[in-house]
Amino acid sequence: MTEYIEALHGVLESIRRTQMEAIEEAGRRAGDALAAGGILHVFGTGHSHMMAEEAFFRAGGLAPVNPILSPRLVFLEGALASTRAERESGYAGQLLEKEDIRQGDVMIVVSNSGRNAAPVEMALAMRERGVAVIAITNVRQSRETASRHSSGRRLFELADVVIDNCVPPGDAVLRLPGLANPIGASSTVAGAAIINLISIAAARRLQDAGVEVPVLLSANVGESGDDALQRTLSRYAGRIRYFAD
């Protein structure tokens, strides 16, 4: 267990050493979009869908964040069904029919492999709409595998900003004697850290521009007030469907 924690420290240290410039750029783009009245959208498939949830309605997180979620992609209709859905051509387009995406917004697409149809099509669709794409992906693994999308392209080849999650190919970080497969996933820890770093960088960008930073306070600490929370959320209810009553 100590080795696992040390391995996670190593992943986070690699992010600190090699990815901060890209994260700053992602924060700049997100901050500028929010300052102009835009929205930060987040999409992920498989376990990467948790990054959309991490960014959304989060104590200490930014309010104008729209998670693009689907029961098929978050295991609610079965694990194997989720795997099939993220490889299904055209499914990303179906999800976007329910979303209010506008030119000038910013989209974070999270995919460890970066090879499946849904994240690739999401990135392509955003480019067509004039939306900047930030990718969080495992660049080494993605380079070593073929795309499952008809274009032959992978997520890191389509994004305006690419952030490498710095995890080993295959995600797991430990080898145990007598165990054939590696164990101890790391991409969720890495992805959550990157998501929050982008939020922090975006908040700093808003501060520098003299724009109010809409950070959510926990509803379970002190007397934060449900009325104040509702007022904050109501500002974005027209753009973020999970804020609608």
Count: domains in the chain: 1
Using CA atoms, how far apart are residues 113 and 80, in angstroms rounded to an integer? Answer: 17
| Residue type (1 letter), 88 | E
Listing DSSP states for 56-82 in one string gives SS-TTSBSSEEEE--TTTTTTT-HHHH
Phi–psi pair at 174, nearest 5 degrees:
-125, 150
**Mean pLDDT value of segment 13-18:** 98
Give first-to-last CA distance, the chain, whole Å.
44
What CATH code is carried by the domain that includes residue 127? 3.40.50.10490
Which range marks the domain in which residue 127 is found? 2-243
What are 160-214's pLDDT values in tens digits? 999 999 999 999 999 999 999 999 999 999 999 999 999 999 999 999 999 998 8
Rounded to two decimals, the pTM is 0.93
What are 87-120's pLDDT values in tens digits? 878 888 898 998 999 999 999 999 998 888 899 9
Please say whether the beta carbons of 99 and 67 come within 8 A.
Answer: no
Task: List CB contacts of 243: < 8 A, sequence separation 6 or more.
Answer: 233, 234, 236, 237
